[in-house]
């Protein structure tokens, strides 16, 4: 089964008893032709799912259709949710850079949401938005290894950080995390209600 990860920016829209998906998915080629497009549009459109009236949060699977193909999506519908704005800044990192993965779990569901995957260097910033049920929690997990410059025979160090944050209507939590002696990361979570 193919899995496609969605990258930020993403947004949430509050609609009573409906789910609205706005989507544009492109296939990026590593070596695009000089005169051709850099991306090949795979699917684009908007889909609305109704009959979402339930008293508890749930996960659903649906198919959305575009002009060229269909795409199966898995989504989470949260009842009484707030938005967690997750802002990450790399304060200090090894000179060669860091392979960084940032994951989240929300509201007690076991499905993992990938917030970031890629190379990070000092000064790099990334932001994501995750919905969280009120009176629940957001779990974050950060994994980092030294960037392999190809042919480097040194053993790559691996660092992992995990924490859980209780949701609230408004507020901010900020932490400075030392992944290892050479890597320092600022984690800031700002809680806001959905307008």
Span 67-115, pLDDT tens digits: 777 888 888 888 889 999 999 999 998 888 888 999 999 999 999 999 9
Q: Which residue in 144, 141, 148, 154 sits closest to 184, CA to CA?
A: 144
Q: What's the token pair of residue 135?
A: 């009176």
* pTM tops 0.85: no
CATH architecture, domain 81-193: Sandwich (2.60)
Provide CATH 2.60.40 ranges for the chain. Answer: 81-193
pLDDT tens profile 1-38: 445 555 555 555 555 556 677 778 877 766 666 665 55
Q: What is the pLDDT of residue 153?
A: 33
pLDDT tens profile 41-79: 778 878 777 766 778 888 888 888 777 778 888 888 888
Neighbours of 153 (CB within 10 A): 4
Query: For 101, how many CA atoms within 13 A lie in the half-sphere containing its CB?
Result: 13
Q: What is the pLDDT of residue 44?
A: 81
pLDDT tens profile 21-30: 777 887 776 6
- Cβ-Cβ contacts under 8 Å for 98 (sequence gap 6 or more): 90, 119, 120, 121, 144, 145, 146, 147, 183
Neighbours of 148 (CB within 10 A): 12
CA distance 125 to 131: 20
Q: What's the token pair of residue 37?
A: 């497009």
């Amino acid at each position: 089964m193919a899995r496609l990860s969605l990258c930020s920016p993403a947004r949430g829209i509050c609609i009573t008893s409906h789910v609205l998906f706005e989507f544009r998915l492109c296939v990026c080629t590593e070596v695009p032709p000089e005169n051709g497009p850099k991306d090949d549009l795979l699917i684009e459109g908007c889909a609305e799912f109704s009959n979402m009236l339930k008293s508890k949060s749930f996960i659903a699977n649906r198919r959305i259709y575009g002009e060229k193909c269909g795409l199966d999506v898995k989504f989470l519908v949260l009842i009484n949710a707030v938005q967690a704005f997750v802002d990450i800044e790399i304060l200090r990192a090894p000179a060669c850079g860091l392979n960084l993965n940032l994951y989240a779990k929300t509201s007690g569901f076991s499905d993992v949401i990938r917030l970031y995957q890629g190379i990070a260097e000092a000064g790099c910033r990334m932001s994501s938005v995750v919905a969280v049920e009120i009176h629940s929690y957001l779990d974050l997990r950060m994994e980092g290894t030294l960037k392999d410059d190809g042919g480097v025979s040194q053993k790559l160090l691996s660092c992992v950080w995990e924490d859980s944050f209780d949701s609230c209507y408004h507020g901010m939590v900020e932490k400075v995390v030392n992944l290892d002696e050479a890597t320092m990361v600022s984690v800031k979570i700002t809680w806001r209600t959905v307008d």
